[in-house]
Structure 1
Amino acid sequence: MRRLGTGIGWRPEIADAVERMPGIDWVEVVAENVCPGHLPASLLRLRERGVTVIPHGVSLGLGGADRPDKGRLTALAERAQALGAPLVTEHIAFVRAGGPLTASPRLEAGHLLPVPRTRDALDVLCENVRIAQDALPVPLALENIAALFSWPGEELTEGQFLSELVERTGVRLLIDVANLHTNHVNRGEDPAEALGALPVEAIAYVHVAGGFERDGVWHDSHAHPVPRPVLDILTDLASRTVPPGVLLERDENFPEPSELEREVAAVREAVTAGRGRARGAAETAAGTGAGSARGSVAVLTRPAVGAREDVGGREGIGAREDVGGREDVGGRVGARERVGVAQAAVLSSLVAGTPVPEGFDRVRMGVQARALGAKRADVVAKVAPELPVILGDGYRGAFLEYARVRPMSEGYRRDALDFAGHVLEAGRPQDAGARRALREWWLDRAGPAPRAAGRVARVARRVLQRHGG
């Protein structure tokens, strides 16, 4: 496994700070935020200095019921090649549901949602991973995600799920210790138990990030300092294995460069503490003749779940499913359709207001639904910054009202356009100047021919000045 060292998530807002930061061996960039033919100058300078750059995808949805989109796979492959990356990473999650497979409307979550830890979901995920691996020019590593809710009727623990995924596909793992903490608070899962079941030899690198707790729910915000419990999980992981790389993630609310440097230093210290603990355990074991160090024991005693018995002599999704998604034995519905129907029902309840499926915690599903709406509002404000300028303090309330009745079916840029159209159709905003500016903005992007962007910007500035911005 390639040694990466200590890294930080590269974001445009902190690009200068990252370039000046001492001791940074590598950076990670959100794959969808860079264009292979127009890489940011900061990333090019880092690469020239020998800093490794790894693209981190967020939109493949490998845990979804559909097979991976060829266009998205091609785009991820192009970014890996453009950046000279040694590997690419994605998530064990679904991000969309519905469509032809389930004969229901296609819905986009705009967020990473947890897959059920069931045999069906694992079969689908394994096949999707193999498809992705065949399409990518470098190895793939997958990240465990944070979750606000649990699926009822799960058949595997997280450690078992990840272990079997690795054994069946050979995929590497990106272990996010902050997500283990999130799942501890939100789902009662023991981080130490999850770490103990992991195939640590498959770890490509580790993520560390901050968050906050509200009303007993931990939100993985990537906008707050890394808390002590997350660093403690990192220390535990480092006592079991030497992580090839550890990276600090920060996506919003960026602190001063000196504070970022202190957080990176805290991450290094947590890893060093874990290695010290491992050496102490090894010395104790050597002195007592008790055997190998803790990390090695975990690997050697982990059960070989990849060779599980399959009912009826069939193994995996490929042996019991044809191209149409139905089993070839007895006409029973196939794994993809079962997973697809379940995920579509969950996502519809979160973004379209349909009833929460039986067995789910309604309170937690409500928290997740509100979080998805808030994230949509935040991301649309970033991709279309003119909208909060034009609408002022009314932007957020208007967007959340729109989001409750209009699920996202495409990307965020389309969402911004649909939102503006929705507001205009309702005869808002009340201010005539703001309404004119919004109409100009909408026409510039939705009309048959582009309009003068400069004029839209001038109108928006006048609206902002009128309101004292």
Structure 2
Amino acid sequence: MAHLGVGIGWRPEIAEAVERLPGLDWVEVVAENICSGHLPASLLRLRERGVRVVPHGVSLGLGGADRPDAGKLAALGERAVALGAPLVTEHIAFVRTSSPALEAGHLLPVRRTRDALDVLCENVRIAQDALPVPLALENIAALISWPGEELTEAQFLTELVERTGVRLLIDVANLHTNRVNRGEDPFAVLDAIPLEALAYVHVAGGVERDGVWHDTHAHPVPEVVLDILAELRRRVSPPGVLLERDDDFPAEAELAGELAAIRGVVGLPGPASAGPAPSPLGSAPDPRTPEGEGPAGPERARVRVGVEQAALLSALVAGTPVPEGFDRRRVRVQARALAAKRAGVVARLAPELPGILGGEDPYREAFLGYARNRPMTAGYRRDALDFAEHLLIRDLPADPAARRRLTTWWQDRVGARPPRRIVRWARTLVGRAA
């Protein structure tokens, strides 16, 4: 596995600052935010300087009940080739369900059961077969815990590695998040997982509110996270460490200071003087070899996992009852967080909407009302259009000039007339009846 050094997550908002950071060894880019045929000029300049670029996927949902989407896998592989990446990374999470069709717009935790592990392992093997470079998977942060789990985090990760040969991307900030939110011991995880499978490490900031840790990637890295990084360093020399920052970007000097603090904790040299790579793992099992219950077993496991995930996701984004065994307060916190994130992403993709609706506060109030029982099913861009149509159906906003602007905005993007008044009335009546 490649030795990477110390790096930072590349984001368009800080692209120029990233290029000026001293001693930068590598960057990571959100795979879905770039196109392999039109790479940002900043990334090209970094590559020309010898800075490695690793694509980090967020939409595969390898922990979901469905098999990975072939188109998403192909796109991820194309980006890896275009960037000359030594590996690609994704998450141990689910992000959607197909029955019903629901999108979380966020990484949700996989239930640590034998069924979920069987499904994840098969999905990982499918991804490994499709990708042109090695795959590493990240442990995620979570606000909620599944009831009736059969494995610890360390047991789940260890068996995943043993069965697939996949590498691990360990996020020490996520270990801290799960310590606060789920009572899990980060040092016990580090003691028990196969650190010889480590691809690299994530470090990020967050904030605690009302006893819940929010993994925001918008705050400075706290000392408690650096302490976990130091504990990991005592056990292994990580091939790479990366600072993640996704919002409320600080001054360039502050970013440089955080990177210096990370470098001080891990004492990592640059790629040229790095030591030997970790020992390779044993070869992964043949993905075509039946395991467990035989060929029918994995299909039954997918059905069971799909039912469980759909019940939770529906409670989070569609207002259905919370499944038995979950902490209802935590599920409500997660649901609010998902809705707030959804509103924020739509506002970034369609910045005209807050202006049309009279500002950020009226926009958020209107969007959260729309989203309460209307789950996202086809991504954020479609969500923005559906939100605008929802307002027009209800003859909103009340100001006629603003409503005309919203109509024009909607028409320009869908190439159609807004629903006629009689259609709007009919839809409103149907909505009230539901």
Q: TM-score, normalised by structure 1?
A: 0.83
- How far apart, in 1, do the equivalents of 2:389 and 2:292 lie? 46
Question: Which contiguous aligned blocks of 4+ residues in structure 1 show a shift greater than 6 angstroms?
Answer: none
Matching residue within 273, 285, 296 for 1:321: 296
Given that 2:66 and 2:98 are in contact with CA atoms closer than 8 Å, whether structure 1 keeps it comes out as no
> Aligned runs of 1:111-190 on 2, under 5 Å?
111-190=106-185
Matched with 2:249 is: 254
Matching residue within 182, 201, 208 for 1:206: 201
Please give the root-mean-square deviation of Cα atoms over the aligned residues, in Å.
1.8
Larger Rg: 1 or 2?
1
- How far apart, in 1, do the equivalents of 2:169 and 2:305 lie? 24
Matching residue within 299, 303, 325 for 1:359: 325
Deviation at 1:431, TM superposition (A): 1.7
Give the count of matched residue pairs. Answer: 399
- How far apart, in 2, do the equivalents of 1:145 and 1:413 lie? 25
Whether 2:103 is the aligned partner of 1:108: answer yes
Q: Secondary structure at the match of 2:77?
A: helix
1:436-461 Cα shifts (integer Å, max 9, x gaps): 11111100011249xxxxxxxxxxxx
Given that 2:174 and 2:215 are in contact with CA atoms closer than 8 Å, whether structure 1 keeps it comes out as yes
What amino acid does structure 2 have at the position aligned with 1:315? E
Matched with 1:464 is: none
Matched with 1:14 is: 14
Matched with 2:407 is: 439
- How far apart, in 1, do the equivalents of 2:249 and 2:194 lie? 34
Q: Identical aligned pairs, as a percentage?
A: 74
Q: TM-score, normalised by structure 2?
A: 0.90
Query: What residue ranges of structure 1 are gaps of 5+ in the alignment?
Result: 100-104, 274-295, 308-313, 327-333, 450-469
Whether 2:336 is the aligned partner of 1:341: answer no
1:297-336 Cα shifts (integer Å, max 9, x gaps): xx9xxxx9x99xxxxxx8346x2427xx64xxxxxxx100
Whether 2:371 is the aligned partner of 1:403: answer yes
What amino acid does structure 2 have at the position aligned with 1:384? A
Given that 1:98 and 1:341 are in contact with CA atoms closer than 8 Å, whether structure 2 keeps it comes out as no
Matching residue within 384, 390, 393 for 1:425: 393
Whether 2:73 is the aligned partner of 1:97: answer no
Deviation at 1:143, TM superposition (A): 0.3
Matched with 1:78 is: 78
Matching residue within 231, 239, 260 for 1:265: 260
Given that 1:160 and 1:198 are in contact with CA atoms closer than 8 Å, whether structure 2 keeps it comes out as yes
- How far apart, in 1, do the equivalents of 2:263 and 2:16 lie? 22
Query: What residue ranges of structure 2 are gaps of 5+ in the alignment?
Result: 269-277, 418-434
- How far apart, in 2, do the equivalents of 1:266 and 1:375 lie? 29
- How far apart, in 1, do the equivalents of 2:205 and 2:244 lie? 8
Matched with 1:234 is: 229
Deviation at 1:412, TM superposition (A): 0.4
- How far apart, in 2, do the equivalents of 1:65 and 1:176 lie? 24
Given that 1:142 and 1:173 are in contact with CA atoms closer than 8 Å, whether structure 2 keeps it comes out as yes
